[in-house]
Structure 1
Amino acid sequence: MSEKSASVHWEGAGKAGQGQVSTETGALQKYPYGFASRFGDDRKGTNPEEILGAAHAACFTMAVSFACDKAGFATRTLDTTARVRLAKDGDGFKIDRIALTLEATVPGMEDKQFQQIAEEAKRNCPLSKALAAVPEITLQAMLKN
């Protein structure tokens, strides 16, 4: 088993408040976030949705690589983007869609097998399983061989 941690420190109320995100590894160390970086155009901070997207893209990509290896194909490159949509939901918000886009170079692999591997990774990577409550998770997978 593996257990990782992240922490947040927040000061202030609501829209005026500011937070800092830190991770156990130090990859994020007191990284700022707040209302403007989540709902506005402040590009100096992060937000929960992009952190979630990064985690999902990383998990999915690793799952694809492992599955390709298991099938006997070494991945040369895998580039994944995850677009996480935060939508209004009554008085609050919800994540209603995650769109994964994968561009891959896997020498010798046929597209049909690649598509099967990518779809299986989308369904079965740990983050996809954890995000099962998201109504729509899409995948566009392109093999660039």
Structure 2
Amino acid sequence: MKRNATAVWNGSGKDGNGHLTTQSTVLNQTQYSFNSRFADGVGTNPEELVAAAHAGCYTMSLSFGLNKAGFTAESLETTALINFENGTITGSHLVVKAKVAGIDQSALEVIAKESEQTCPVSRALSVEISSEILLVE
């Protein structure tokens, strides 16, 4: 399986602008710019997209891990916080709220830690990955 996305950029790095389109067209000429990346401009940016990819991949991996252990999540909510310092992604911190009947915190943490290490996006990132897991009722 192969997936793709296309980036188009016009102009200089600081004053130019561009757009991103994904194969699925969920992003369809979605704007990005210097301001959306380094300030508070409207549009997306590569680091935000890495965060979305990591949160989505990890959450699905956690769901599969829970299923393998005999549990089904009622809900999983993951926020990925990407650290972007001096032009480099230096880490990803996952904050998870899990509603899973019949599981205790320590069992959830074991499954979550395995998912943190094995999801494909985690494996693709060569940065420190950390997580917080909260079992909610």
TM-score scaled by length of structure 2:
0.97
* Unmatched runs of 5 consecutive residues or more in structure 1: none
Aligned to 1:71: 69
How far does the alpha carbon of each residue in 1:11-64 deviate from its partner, in whole angstroms, 9 at most, with x for none? 11110110100000011000000100000111x200000000000000000000
Q: Distance in 1 between matches of 2:72 and 2:82?
A: 29
Percent of aligned pairs sharing the same letter = 40
Q: Which runs of 5+ in 2 are unaligned?
A: none
Partner of 2:129: 137
Which residue of the partner structure matches residue 35 of structure 2? 36
**Other-structure match for 2:112:** 118
> Alignment RMSD, CA only?
0.8
Paired residues in the alignment total 137
1:85 Cα deviation after fit: 1.2
**TM-score where L is the length of structure 1:** 0.92
Which stretches of structure 1, 4 residues or longer, exceed 4 Å deviation after superposition? none
Residue type matched to 1:119 in 2?
Answer: K
Measured in 2, the distance between the counterparts of 1:128 and 1:105 equals 23
Deviations 1:95-121 (A, max 9, x none): 112111000001111111100010000
The equivalent residue for 2:14 is 15
> Where does 1:44-55 land on structure 2 (aligned, <5 Å)?
44-55=42-53
**Cα distance, 1:127 vs. partner?**
0.3
Q: CA deviation at 1:83?
A: 0.8
What is the match of residue 61 of structure 1? 59
Q: 1:15 is paired with a residue of what secondary structure?
A: coil
